[in-house]
């Protein structure tokens, strides 16, 4: 099956620093990538959708200037949490769909962000 690699798996950082999370599709071209967030004991919530070569579409309540998403190639999307604060501590997970199977999302393993 298709593989999506997400890195890093765990990040601990100080308040005010920026953190970049990478999401790569290893064996297919990801025309669309999704970024989800999961707070403790809650379900996954969609943050944004990004299509290769175009600006990301953010969900209501998600600050686009704080969560910068770049999808510059068909195999890589990045999420940068700028000036992270403790309330940004969460589990971030990406998924990707390809041209041939648009109705199937392949998930990365997730990144646990802890902001001190």
Partner 1 sequence: KQEVTQIPAALSVPEGENLVLNCSFTDSAIYNLQWFRQDPGKGLTSLLLIQSSQREQTSGRLNASLDKSSGRSTLYIAASQPGDSATYLCARMGGRRALTFGSGTRLQVQP
Residues that bind partner 1 (CB under 8 A): 6, 32, 34, 36, 42-46, 49, 93, 95, 97, 102-105, 107-110, 112
Least CB distance from residue 16 to partner 1, whole Å?
26
Least CB distance from residue 95 to partner 1, whole Å?
8
Least CB distance from residue 74 to partner 1, whole Å?
16
For partner 1, give the closer residue by CB, 10 or 14.
Answer: 10
Calpha distance 27→106 (Å, rounded)? 11
Neighbours of 55 (CB within 10 A): 12
For partner 1, give the closer residue by CB, 82 or 107.
Answer: 107
């Amino acid at each position: 099956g298709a593989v999506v690699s997400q890195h890093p798996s765990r990040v601990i950082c100080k308040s005010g620093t920026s953190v970049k999370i990478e999401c790569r599709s290893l064996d297919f071209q990801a025309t669309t990538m999704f970024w989800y967030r999961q707070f403790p004991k809650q379900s996954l919530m969609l943050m944004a959708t990004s299509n290769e070569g175009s600006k990301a579409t953010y969900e209501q309540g998600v600050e686009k200037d704080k969560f910068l998403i770049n999808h510059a190639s068909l195999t890589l999307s990045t999420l940068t949490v700028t000036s992270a604060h403790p309330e940004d501590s969460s589990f971030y997970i990406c998924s990707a769909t390809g041209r041939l199977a648009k109705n199937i999302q392949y998930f990365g393993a997730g990144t646990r962000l802890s902001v001190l």
